[in-house]
Each structure stands twice: as C-alpha cells, then as structure tokens.
Structure 1
Amino acid sequence: MKVVIVENQGLYLDLLTDALRSRGIDVVGRATEPDSALRVIDETAPDLAVLDIRLTDTADDEGLRLAELARAQYPDVALLAFSAFLEPAYAERLLTIEDVPRAIGYLGKERLGNLDELVEACHRIVRGDVVIDPEIISKLMARRRTENPLDRLTPTELRVLALIAEGYSNLGIAQRLNTKISTTEHHISTIANKLGTPPTNDPRRPHLNIRVLAALTYLNANRT
C-alpha cells in the first residue's frame, strides 16, 4: 500500500511515518500544508492520503477542503482524515463529498496511536469501505432530540445502524453481533423501512446505497 501523509506538525508527521513504515506500509510522500499536498499526491500516485483536518492556524477545516479537492481531482485515491477533536459535522461533510461515500474515513488523532487499529482502517478504506471513528458513533448515540427518527428503532437495530455508520459489512456486523448474516440483512431491511430510505432497487434513486442512506440518517438525526 502506498500512502501520502499530510500533517503540519513535523514531529507528529515523523512519528506517523515511522509507525506506518514499521507495519510494511510504503509512505511515498509527505506534505505539511495544503498547497503542496495535491502536488505530492499527483507525483506519487498513492493508494491512500492520510490528512490532518487542521493544517493551518487560520482555519479549522483545511484538511476537509483538501479532501474535497483530492476526491474531485484524483477520485481513485482513498482518503483518511483525522483530527484532535472529533466533530460529527466533519464526519457528515466527508460522507457527502460524493452521492455515495466510498473509500473514505474519519478518525480521532489519538486513535492513530493504536497501530493495529490504524493499519486495519487503512486497509479497509483502500478496499472501498467507509470508516467512522467509534467515538463519533458513541457521541451520537448519547444524543436525542424531539421527533428523532432513530426513536423508531429497537436497541438491536440501533446497534446495527451504528455498525453500518462505522463502515462494517453485513458479514462484519454479523460477526460483531454473533448472529446470522441473514438476520443482519433482515435488520438492515427493517431499518430502511423505518427510516423511510428507498430500497436498493428503487428506480427513483438507483445510484444511492441503502447502507449509506441509513448511516447518513443516523448522523443527521443526531446533529447538534
């Protein structure tokens, strides 16, 4: 796997580079600011770009802007954004870069210290998965508001939806919940019906993935 890292703090950039290389990941390029990041991505053709969301002192979302530009110019490059402070709004923005989110992730900066978890996330994202930090999911689960559509779901369905939002496949959800794949598929179908998302074969929205729609409903329903 070829990776480019964009991080404005030199010490953290070195630590992350050494950590990934110690796990056999080829760090082919590095950048410390947005202006050079796209050039480095273009020159090195990485499988994955790992981006800090805060790259300057003047803006909190330079990394998000960079992610949007990178996806537009180099759509085959997977993206992993991270930040010191987890914000549901950042996750939602990343998930709406495209109509159907793919090969994209958002993790808390402290979670990058767990190399096993980081490397697994990198591989999942490069395979096309959507990976959202579980802490974001936990924060959202703790929030409720009037007429929250998630109130229609049972505790088990909420857990399934949380795992969907984290990017787990039907198989992965079944393994996590120690249940059958067919049972997971039934839960997802029930969740879609309760949240009012169209079925996969709905001719009105053929390009939308029912799993992504459910995950976006999950995020939107719990926004501040």
Structure 2
Amino acid sequence: MRLVVAEDSAILRHGLTQLLAMRGHHVVAAVGDGDALASAVAEHRPDVAVIDIRMPPTHTDEGVRAAIALRHEYPTLGMLLFSQYIETSFATTLLTGKPEGVGYLLKDRVTDIDAFVDALTRIAAGGTALDPEVVAQLLRASRQRKTLASLSPRERDVLALMAEGHSNAAIGDALTVTERAVEKHIAHIFVKLDLPPSDTRHRRVVAVLLYLQA
C-alpha cells in the first residue's frame, strides 16, 4: 500500500512510518497538520491516509475536518482516523456519507501491530475498521439524537434557552409565553427524555447535557 500519515507527534509519526515500512508498505508522505495532509494527498494520491483527529493549529478537530474534505474530493481514498479521542459528530458525517474504505481506531487500544496493518489493508480494499468503543459511542449519540427528535419545535426552543442558562421567566419572555407554559414544556421535555424526578441528579442539567451532546 501507498500511505500518507498525518500526525502532529513527531515521534509517533516516525514510528508509524518505520512500522509500516518494515511490513512492506510505502509511506509516501508523513505530515503534521491538515494543510500538509491535503497537499500530500493531492501530490501522491495514496491508497490510504492515516489521520490523527487533533492537529495544529487548535488541536481540536482539524484532522477529521480534513478527512471529510478529502472524502468529497477523493471518494476512493481510504482513510483511517487514528486518535486518542472519539469525535462523534464529524465521525458520523464521515461514516454515513460513504462508509466504504473508512476506519476509526483508538491509539490506546491498538495492541496488535498485525491487526492494525490488517485494518489498513481492509480499508484500502474498500472495507471498514471500527473500534468497538467508537461504535458504542456513535450508537449512543445516535440514540440521543433520535430522543431529541421526539421534542416539538417549541420544546426544542425551550431546551435551547435552558442550555443558554435562562430562567423559566426569561424563557417565557423570549418566547412570548407565560412562565406556567414554560413549566409545562419543561415537564414534557423531562418525560420525553426519560428523566423522572431524582434525588441524585438535577434533571434540568441532565436535559441540557443531552441537548449539548447531540
């Protein structure tokens, strides 16, 4: 296989390059940021790109954003997200668009080098390679989105204002409804999100967290 490695850690970037070379594969470029990744793919047209999620300049989601952009430009390019972190929203976008030739493995959970190389081979052939923990979190996020989809537009408006930290009175003013109406909407939200009264958790906080996570 011909591969591009995008990893901001110089030590890990070098290690991956050497590891893959020892198993007969050719790393045509090893880069440390998203812009260099795009240039390397354009120049070398590799079979697979191995991409860290968090790269310069902000070390948040540059890698997965770059992967999505490359997926649009090079539909046949295999890509493996290889990270310590799970970024569900962008990963869902990447996997639901055209899941063939896409993988997502967690660095800390890769203990078998041969299995890692096999995953790359599978991705290059149009298959997939997903860590079970990634699958679990993607399914969990999907269930949360479906749950929030059960809310009415007005209930979503109320929940959004709750997430901004507004009181019931302030939410009522913003939506031009009574505070009593806001209380009814919140009660319906709690029911739909399966948040019964509890002495151990604050339902309002949990509802907001579910909203933000989705």
Q: TM-score, normalised by structure 2?
A: 0.61
Partner of 1:29: 29
Q: Which residue of 2 aligns with 1:107?
A: 105
* Cα distance in 2, alignment partners of residues 66 and 143 from structure 1: 22
| Alpha-carbon displacement from aligned partner over 1:123-143 (angstroms, at most 9, x marks no partner) | 111111122111223556789
2:33 and 2:63 in contact (8 A); partners too: no
Aligned AA (2:71): R
In structure 2, distance between residues paired with 1:135 and 1:64:
17
8 Å CA contact 1:47, 1:126 repeated in 2: yes
* Runs (5+) with no aligned partner, structure 2: 148-212
TM-score by length of 1: 0.58
Residue from 95, 99, 122 that aligns with 2:120: 122
Taking the aligned partners of 2:50 and 2:142, their CA distance within structure 1 comes to: 32
Q: Residues 140 and 61 from structure 1, CA distance in 2 versus in 1: closer, same or farther, beyond 3 angstroms?
A: closer
CA contact (8 A) 2:48 2:78 kept: yes
Partner of 2:85: 85
Query: Matched residue of 1:128: which SS?
Result: coil
- 1:56 Cα offset (Å): 2.0
CA drift of 1:103 comes to 0.6
1:91/1:132 contact within 8 Å kept? no
Provide the C-alpha distance between the structure 2 equivalents of 1:27 and 1:121, rounded to a whole number of angstroms: 16
Shift in CA distance, 52/145, structure 1 to aligned 2, threshold 3 Å? closer
Q: Which structure would you say has the larger Rg?
A: 2
Cα RMSD for the two superposed structures: 2.6
Instruction: Give, in whole Å, the separation in 1 of the partners of 2:76 and 2:99.
Output: 13
Q: What is the Cα deviation at residue 33 of structure 1?
A: 1.1
